[in-house]
Structures are given as C-alpha cells and as structure tokens.
Amino acid sequence: MSESLTPDEIADAYDEWHGKFASPEDPIDAPWHKMAIPELPDLRDKRVLEIGCGRGGFSAYLAGCGADLTAADFSPAAVRMAAPRLEPHDKAEALVADIQAIPFDRCTFDVVISLDTLEHVPHPTLAVAELVRVLRPGGKLILTTNNYVSLIGLWRLVMRLAGKRFTEFGQPINQPLKFFPSARLMRGLGCDVELVDGAGHYLRMPRTEHGYLRLGFLERPHPLTKWFGIDRMVVATKR
C-alpha cells in the first residue's frame, strides 16, 4: 500500500487512523515504552527528539523528566492530540515532521527516540539515517520496532498465503521488518550499538477480546528468546 500512496495520502490515512482513538495512550502501558524507559539517560535540560510521537502519551512522560523536548509526527491529527499534553511543560513543543526528512540541522539533539515507528514508514533505512544525522556525537539513540521473526510474523505469513492483507490494528503501512535495524547498519551510520533486546511473544487468537494471547513462558531463557520477540529495541551511541 505504501508504494501506491503519495506522502499527502499517507498523512491523510494516518490522520484517519489516529482519529479513531479518543485519548492518548498510557505512557507506561505499551511494551515498547516499558522497554525504553530503563534505557533513558538523565533528560534534565537535554535536547530530546521523539519522532513518531503519535498522540503524545510518552512525549508527556519525557517532558515530565525535564527534557527540552521536540515531539514530532507525520500525522497532523496526531500532533493536534499531542500538543495539549505538552502545554504544562515550558520546554516542550509538538510539530509535524517526516522521519525520513527531519527538519533540523545535523547534530541538534542529545537524545533521539523513535518507538515502533520505523515499520510504519515507506523507507525505514532512510529514517534511521535521518535519526543519526540529527543526533550529536556522544548522544543516545533509542529505537524500537516490530520484529517479524516471531509468532506474529508467522501469522503475517499465513495471512499472505491466504491472500489477505496484514495490518497492525489497521495501520496504513506495515513493513515486514526482521532484526532491524541491524548492528551492521548502525555501525555504518557511525554508531556503536550498546544494547539489543526483545520481548513479547503473542499467539494470534482472532476470536478473543484483544485478538492475541500472550505466551509469557517464552520470555525465558531471555538471552535466546529475545531474538524472537515481537518488540525489538536497539540502543546506540553516535561516535
């Protein structure tokens, strides 16, 4: 679908998707938030970019940690929902921006965060290059993506073989990422990878309340099973 849509059409599609939600997500409820929070450095007075901020729940959390925060999203509707959550914070703003062409100079931010966004853009590798570009040397990059070397990836394959389109809760773009971004890609972009982690093992159950059954026993042994979790995190430092 992403190949057949213009950027304006993609933005409109995500405006419609975000419009289905009455309120922002809980900043500590999503699995990718729970993974990212322990990896955050001290954010007080740090220039921080969260891009792919969605409806602003996690952005409000980051601003509450004292960050000089820019929260950005490709969807104007999402930014309109995020902006009121940032109003209590003097050093926080929300703006519309494309992760594949971030409107800031090189080496602008001390910390760059993008959670479960890369699989929902047309060109994920270009997006990662942009995230590194705007990060200062010594700065920290925290990324999470969906990993389809997982049980959900198996369901995606089943859907494809059945001739049906797979979506993540109706999102317009759903890239089939696997082990992305790789350590090789990050090194090539001038980063040292500090941590690769993964979690979340879900069996698709269409007739259940949430549509998925979490298999918590697969979280152990973690050094092995993390590679097959749906939620993947990469933490890196720019050289």
**Could you read off the pLDDT of 150-178 as tens digits, one per residue?**
998 988 888 889 998 888 878 888 899 99
Query: For residue 133, what are the contacts with CB-CB under 8 A and spacing of at least 6?
Result: 102, 106
Query: Which residue is listed with tokens 């590798």?
Result: 125
Within 8 A by CB and 6+ apart from 191, the residues are: 132, 141, 236, 237, 238, 239
Tokens linked to 46: 């740090």
Q: Which residue has the tokens 């405006």?
A: 15
175: containing domain = 2-238
99-119 pLDDT, tens per residue?
999 999 999 999 999 999 999
Residues 6+ apart with CB under 8 A from 172: 1, 2, 5, 10, 13, 14, 17, 120
Total tally of structural domains belonging to the chain: 1
| CA–CA separation, 86 and 71 (whole Å) | 9
The CATH number given to whatever domain includes residue 101 is 3.40.50.150
DSSP characters over 62-107: HHHTT-EEEEEES-HHHHHHHHHHHTT-TTEEEEE-BTTB-SS-TT
Lookup: tokens for 19: 């419009």
Per-residue pLDDT, 144? 97
At residue 53, does pLDDT exceed 70? yes
Of residues 144, 124, 118, the one with CA closest to residue 33 = 144
Q: How confident is the model at residue 204 (pLDDT cuts 50, 70, 90)?
A: confident
For residue 230, is pLDDT > 90?
yes
